Every structure is written in structure tokens, then in C-alpha cells.
Structure 1
Amino acid sequence: MRIPFLKRLKPLLSLNDPQWGRGSKDGKQDGKKPEDGPPDLDQLWRDFNQSIARMFGKNGGGDTGGGSPSDSTFAKIGFGVIVAVVAFFWMISGFFIVEEGKTGVITTFGKYSYQASPGFNWRWPAPIQSHEIVNMMQVRTVEIGYRNNVKNKQPKEALMLTDDENIIDIQFAVQYKLKDAAKWLYSNRDPEEMIRQVAETAIREIVGRSKMDFVLYEGREKVALDVNLLMQQVLDRYESGAQITNVTMQAVQPPEQVQAAFDDAVKAGQDKERQKNEGQAYANDVIPKARGEASRMLQDAEGYRSRVIANAEGNAARFKQVLVEYQKAPAVTRDRMYLETMQQIFSSTTKLMMDTKSANNMIYLPLDKLNGDNVVKSNQPATATTGSVPADTMTTVEVRGSKEGRTRDSRDRESR
């Protein structure tokens, strides 16, 4: 029953028909000419009702009649069917799928209602409710001081003032994820621009409290960490729904206008550090040697002190022993001491001059030659081989000296 109806309805609904809406093919429709007005929608509706009636086993009325009561009933049934079909398709339009790692945000008449978890979900169709899918696992990036490439600088964002009143050029990137989709969508007008402004504010505050050398060299990682913490505090206060994951310093350097002078200053500083290191290395080499030498000298001095003290104590003990012997036999002890002293003196002397009372000539004894020729032992008296000095001259002198010594000792005793 549907095919005749569709065949009948097709020429009436064909937009390619130049006579569409102008009546039947014979140029008449309800006694009106084609040029009298728009298409007869009532006739289309009656044809549709008749088709519905045929579907339920009833015969439709005439094409031009006003319609019987059965036509009105079937018209209501047809309208209900249409409404039901439209309602069915309208209801199923509320189904939607949320992928893993994403969240669906549902709004009712534009006001936030709830969040849909990943999977197959349903909401009231538009215009009652609508949804928006937000990727929660995506790592988003905001660039400060540059765009897409570090060479594409943004001076208004990159130039900052340090605590020691120096200007520094900083380029860094902020990576973040979303932790609350509803806050991300509805708490701020432009979330990405808000992240950029918060990042710029945080870096300016941290750099403004730091020295230039600290930011350029040893403090880069600490500056990035401080910026991360400060940004998260501000974003939480703004209820942005964002979680900062990483702050990466791309470039930290002085402005291009003073780059050459700054490089010279850095080179001079490096030369200074190198010279300090060389001096420290030299000091580390010399100081231990000097300390070792000083310690050795102290030990030598201590040894010399001990040796001198020991010798002095020994000499004192020996003198006491000699004193005891001297008190027993002064003359013999004096002669023995005289002979020992002269022996010690002559043992280290190579030449000896003697003056005799018997003649005015001075006797010269070349002891070194005498010792070399005769190979005489050191404890035996030397024998003269040259000159006119007899061999017993030394003995005579020694005996005379001994007699003179004994004479002086006797005189001392008499005087006492």
C-alpha cells in the first residue's frame, strides 16, 4: 500500500518539477489555474490521510471532498505516528560516547549539571541538555617568551628585571594537564590565556627576587621549581582545574644588546677562576712540602737538642769523674789531660811549628808528608824525615812541657 502512495506523492514533492506547487498536470487544481497561488497543502494532507487509511484497510474519500469522520480519525492517527517517530529520533539523539581518558561535561539549558565518565552515556536531547567532550590526559603546553621556536622571541614576555637591577632574557615552556573539566570550561573566560598570564607573573616574581648570576647558572632548576609551585597555588586559587606537570627553561641569557660585553665579562670571570684554581693547585703542592720540611727541621732540632743535652750531661759526668781523680793525684791527672788534649789537637793538624829556647830558629814539621811517607799510626808520634830536626826533639819538648807543668803545679800548691 505504501508504493502507490509514494508514487503518487513523488511528483507532488519533486523540487525538479517546474510545475511543483502549481496544481495538477492538466493545469487545474480545485478549479484554480496554475498561476492562481501556492501549492495546495490541504490536498497533500488529504492524500496522506487516504494513504494511512488504506494501510488500515479503509477506503479513502474523494479528492475534492471535505472528508468523512473516518478521515479525521485516521488523520489523528497519522499525526500521532509522525510525532512518535520524531520523538524516537529526538530521544536517541541524546546518546553519546566518551572515550577513555576524556570526560563529558553535561549542561542543562546552558548551566553545568554533571560530568559523564568514559563509555556509552545518555543525556536529554537538545535543547534541554548538551555535552562537551574534554580530553583529560592530553599534555598541553604554553610558551612564554617565544612562539613555536626559540628564535621567534617575544621581547615583552621574555625581558625581566632581576634583584640586582639587571635585565635578563628568559624563554620557558609550561606543560599542564586538566584535573577538573567543569572548572576548566566555566571558571575562566579564556583558560589558555589565563595560564600564560599566570606563568609570566610567577616567573617575574621569582626572577625579581633572585640575582642575575644565580638565574643564569646554578639557580636555573630552582627557579623552574619555584615557578611550578607558585603557578599551581595561583591556579588553584582561580579554580582553573589545571595541574602543572613541568616547567622547562628553554633559554636564559642577557639581552642581545649587551651580549658581547657580557661574554667578555664571563670570559674574565672564567680566567679568574682558572687562575685561582692554578694558584690553589700550586698551594696544595707547596704547602705540604713546606710542612714536611718544617716537621723534618723540628725533628732535626729536637734530635740536636737531645744530642747536645746528652753530650753535656756526659761531659759533666766525665768532668766529675776527672775531678775525683784530680783530687786524688793532681799532677798525674793534669799531665794526662794535657797529653790527651795535645793528641786531639795534633790528630787534626797537618803542620806544626815549634819554637825552641836553645836556638832562634823555628822548627817546621810537615806532618802530612810525614804521615804520607811513613804511614804512621795516629796514636804513635811522628818521625821527621826532612830537615835538621832530630827524632827526639818532640819528646824533649813534651818532656819539657811536662816538667814545666809539674813546676807550675808545685808552685800552685805552695801558694795555697
Structure 2
Amino acid sequence: MDSFSFEEFARRRRGGPPSDAWRRYVPVIPWLLAGLFLLFLISDFSYTVEPHEQAVVLRFGAYKATTAPGLHFKLPIVDRVMKVSVEEHGLSLPFGPPVQVAPGWPGMISSSTASSVSRASTNPDDDETLMLTGDLNTASVEWTVQWRVSEPSSYLFRFPGEGDDRSARELLTYVARTVMNRLVGDYSFDEMIGPKRGDIAQQAREDTQRILDAYDCGITVTALQMQQVIPPDRVKPSFDRVNASIQLKQKLENEAESTRNKLIPEARASRDKLIREAEGYASRTRAEATGEIEALLAKYRAYQRAPDVTRQRLYLESMQKLFESVKDKTIIDADLKGTLPLLNLNQAPNPAQTSNPTAVGEAPQ
């Protein structure tokens, strides 16, 4: 049996001998294919990583290395490069990304449940923000989560699909909501809107990061901030009245504290002044009493040495003090009989009476 010839087949179809031009291009076709294959290998020999990305290199499907931004080289065909954005992403909770129902769910859940999940994913309601606090009150809580990919290899193996972070957002949403619901149930409403707000945010970030580390998904939560913690709209008027009462109470307490801080220093200054005056009076009285005692002891010692002289001196000193304290003085002669002689010591002597001494106290004939 004769062998098949492509040229003979082409000549028979055209009805004539083979063309010389076709015969010239046939040897070039293998070289052209080889050139295209070589060009493909050269183009697949290098890759570029953007500044906000990191690349994961897989060799025969297994992890090889993680490369930083810049120009890098790889083995064509053998190596596969998957790029991951490592910039920071934001997530507003508790709404998060819309929930998708998996294709196999309709056979496992009822149609009513599937429709409710679909409505919740397409039309997020404010009721999703409601959480039960530790004192059995209801609070509307909203917060934001800032996250980024810290381990690209773990991230890609956990969430397949280059450039799609939807699965990561859904996981982060579920974890963050679970953690926040648990923490809100541990605190009262007043603590959440007051001193414990920052502590709750810090504890939520740490607990969320711990759960994500257990999943080994390569995600790092960089920040978690509480946006608003308010009562539901149905009880907001009552809450506003209670809040106004609390503010009035705090205002009165502040005024009382201000008055207290003003009066206490004044009272302490007055107390110190009275204490110093009492101490001065005590020292002065003690010194006077000590001086009087020393004077009496001196007189007593003098009396022991010369009783008569001391007695007379004390009598004269006492009479001198007595006369000094009396304004009008009258001297009476005890030996005179009859008319009472008077001598006014408060008036200056009369010249007439001085020349006639018998005029004073002279009795009538």
C-alpha cells in the first residue's frame, strides 16, 4: 500500500501540481512555532509585584516562597504566581457583606428560612444592630474593623480565589459579631456608653484576632473602633429623659463639689487662725501667770526675812494702787471732834485759805 503524501493530496484537490511558494513555507512553520513557544517562555520567566501586593509562588502546586514588591523571576510552566493585596481594608459592622445561600442549601433548609436569609442579605435592617446587654437592656451597637493580610500563603490556602476577598470578609464578619455579642452581654448599658467603651473595643479586637489565629487564615485585625452605642428608637425618648436626669445629677454634684472645694480651704484657714490665736493666748497667759507666781514667791521670801517691813510695804503699795484707781478722794481726821473737817485733794489750794489756815474746818461760835 502506497504511503500518504500531503503534497499529493493538496495537488489532487487543486487539480494541478504543487505550488513552489507552499513548498518554500513548509520548512518555516516548525521554526515559527518554536519561536512563539520561546517567546511564551520568556514572558513567563518574570513577574512584577505592585507596592501594595505580595506574591505567593507555587511550584507544582506546593508552596515555594513569598516575594515582596518588585521584579522577580520564576520557572516557566513549573511555577505559578498568586498575588495578594496586603493593604488595609475596612469593614462596617454588624451589617458586613451580604450573605449568599450556597447552591446545596435549598435541599437542606426550608424555603422560608432561605427567603429570610436572602431578605437579610439584600435589605439589612436596623434590628441587626440590636444586642442584649448584661443588665437585660437592648442597645444598638455599630463598630468598624480595620484588617489586612499578614500571611499571604495562609490567606490563599484558606480562601482560594486570587483577588477575591469576599470569603475573608464573611468570616471576619461572623467572628466579629460573635465576639461583640458575647462582650456586650458582659457589661451593662451604662458601662458601654461610659467608662468601659474603650475596654470593650480593645477586648473585642484581641478576641477576634485570637479566633482568626486559630483558623490560620493569615488575617491581622489592626484596629477596632466603636462607632455608636445608642438605645433603640422605640425607647429613645425615655432614654433621653433618663440621660437628662443623669446630667442634672452630675451638674448638681459638680456644683456641690465646687462649693465644697471652696469652703473647705476657708474653714481650714479659719481653723488654723483660731488655733494660732489660742496658742498665743495660752502662751501669753502662761507667761503672765508664771510672772505673778514669781512675784508672789519673791514677796513671800521677803516676808519671811522681814515680816513687819514687808507687811507695811505691802500695805502702802496696796493703798497707793487703791488711791490711783479712785477719782475723787476725801481725807477725814479721825481725832477731830465736832465739825467734820474736809480737805478736797482734787482742787488746787486757795491763797486765802493758805494765809488763814484756821478757815478750813473752823467751827462756828
TM-score (norm 2): 0.64
| Residues 160 and 169, structure 1, Cα contact 8 Å, conserved in 2 | yes
Per-residue CA distance 1:283-324 (angstroms, 9 max, x = gap): 333333333333333333333333333333322322233234
Paired position in structure 2 for 1:102: 53
CA distance in 2, matches of 1:155, 1:258: 14
Q: Which one-letter code corresponds to 1:144 in the other structure?
A: L
Change (3 A) 1:260 1:350: farther
| Residues 179 and 242, structure 1, Cα contact 8 Å, conserved in 2 | yes
Change (3 A) 1:92 1:254: same
The 5-angstrom pairing of residues 89-168 of structure 1 reads 97-100=47-50, 101-104=52-55, 114=64, 117=67, 118-119=70-71, 132-136=82-86, 138-145=87-94, 154-168=125-139
CA distance in 1, matches of 2:339, 2:129: 113
CA distance in 1, matches of 2:309, 2:318: 14
| Residues 98 and 116, structure 1, Cα contact 8 Å, conserved in 2 | no
CA distance in 2, matches of 1:78, 1:57: 8
Q: CA deviation at 1:228?
A: 1.8
Gaps of 5+ in 2: 1-8, 98-122, 161-166, 358-365
Q: CA deviation at 1:202?
A: 2.0
The structure with higher relative contact order (CA 8 Å, sep 6+) is: 2
Per-residue CA distance 1:111-155 (angstroms, 9 max, x = gap): 665567453656766xx987654322x22121103579xxx9853
CA distance in 1, matches of 2:90, 2:294: 97
Paired position in structure 1 for 2:146: 175
CA distance in 2, matches of 1:57, 1:309: 141
SS at match of 1:245: strand
Per-residue CA distance 1:201-249 (angstroms, 9 max, x = gap): 2222333333433321333333222222221111111121212122122
The 5-angstrom pairing of residues 175-214 of structure 1 reads 175-188=146-159, 190-214=167-191
CA distance in 1, matches of 2:48, 2:304: 128
CA distance in 1, matches of 2:221, 2:241: 38
Per-residue CA distance 1:10-68 (angstroms, 9 max, x = gap): xxxxxxxxxxxxxxxxxxxxxxxxxxxxxxxx879956x9767644369xxxxxxxxxx
CA distance in 1, matches of 2:22, 2:178: 74
Q: CA deviation at 1:165?
A: 3.0
CA distance in 1, matches of 2:301, 2:66: 123
Change (3 A) 1:318 1:94: closer
Change (3 A) 1:258 1:85: same
Paired position in structure 2 for 1:19: none
Matched, 1:275 2:252: yes
Matched, 1:299 2:289: no
Matched, 1:315 2:292: yes
The 5-angstrom pairing of residues 199-238 of structure 1 reads 199-238=176-215
Matched, 1:255 2:252: no
CA distance in 2, matches of 1:105, 1:277: 61
Gaps of 5+ in 1: 1-41, 59-73, 366-381, 393-416
Q: Which one-letter code corresponds to 1:187 in the other structure?
A: R
SS at match of 1:165: coil
SS at match of 1:56: helix
| Residues 59 and 80, structure 2, Cα contact 8 Å, conserved in 1 | yes
Identity rate, percent: 25
| Residues 174 and 246, structure 1, Cα contact 8 Å, conserved in 2 | yes
Matched, 1:383 2:346: yes
CA distance in 2, matches of 1:50, 1:85: 31
SS at match of 1:141: strand
CA distance in 1, matches of 2:339, 2:223: 115
| Residues 162 and 211, structure 1, Cα contact 8 Å, conserved in 2 | yes
CA distance in 2, matches of 1:279, 1:359: 85
Paired position in structure 2 for 1:56: 23
Change (3 A) 1:124 1:116: farther
Per-residue CA distance 1:328-364 (angstroms, 9 max, x = gap): 5545433433343344345445567999988999x9x
SS at match of 2:221: strand
Q: CA deviation at 1:197?
A: 0.9
CA distance in 2, matches of 1:312, 1:107: 107
| Residues 95 and 123, structure 1, Cα contact 8 Å, conserved in 2 | yes
Q: Which one-letter code corresponds to 1:56 in the other structure?
A: R
Q: CA deviation at 1:279?
A: 2.8
The farther-off stretch of 239-248 and 304-313 is: 304-313
Paired position in structure 1 for 2:114: none
